[in-house]
């Protein structure tokens, strides 16, 4: 999704920070919704993903998904898929490209994704 007039400016990564990218237009829209509904938590998520997208210090908040959701494909390459709990229902799902130190946001929403519902 190319930036356009009126869009927020994303700061570039510096030092050891990871680059964050939207993998889908829906993820970009959902991120905007999350930022509106839970700005403080969305900011903490942003900072956590920039600093350490595979950190396991708080596995209830940030963890790699399991089973059929443990990996996902982007551009023909398979990556580990992680999830960050932004708020009670709000989630961000992302793929971790270690080679390029890039986090690809594939899902962001103030609502819990349905694919984990039993």
The tens digit of pLDDT for each residue in 38-82 reads 999 999 999 999 999 999 999 999 999 999 999 999 999 999 999
Q: Which residues pair with 64 in a beta bridge?
A: 82
Residue 14 burial (C-beta neighbours within 10 Å; 0-12, 13-18, 19+): exposed
Domain that holds residue 37: 25-110
Whether 3 is covered by a domain: the verdict is: no
Query: How many independent structural domains does the chain possess?
Result: 1
Whether 59 is covered by a domain: the verdict is: yes
Whether 9 is covered by a domain: the verdict is: no
Regarding predicted confidence, which is higher, 62 or 118? Answer: 62
The CATH number of the domain holding residue 105 is 3.30.2310
Percent of the chain with pLDDT over 70: 94
């Amino acid at each position: 999704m190319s930036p356009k007039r009126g869009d927020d400016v994303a700061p570039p990564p510096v030092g050891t920070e990871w680059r964050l990218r939207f993998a889908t237009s829906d993820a970009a829209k959902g991120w905007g919704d999350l930022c509106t509904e839970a700005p403080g938590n969305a900011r903490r998520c942003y900072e956590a993903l920039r600093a350490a997208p595979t950190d396991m210090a708080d596995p209830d908040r940030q963890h790699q998904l399991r089973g059929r959701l443990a990996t996902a494909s982007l551009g023909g390459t398979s990556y580990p898929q992680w999830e960050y709990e932004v708020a009670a229902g709000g989630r961000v799902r992302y793929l971790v490209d270690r080679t390029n130190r890039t986090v690809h946001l594939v899902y962001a929403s103030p609502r819990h994704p349905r694919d984990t519902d039993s």
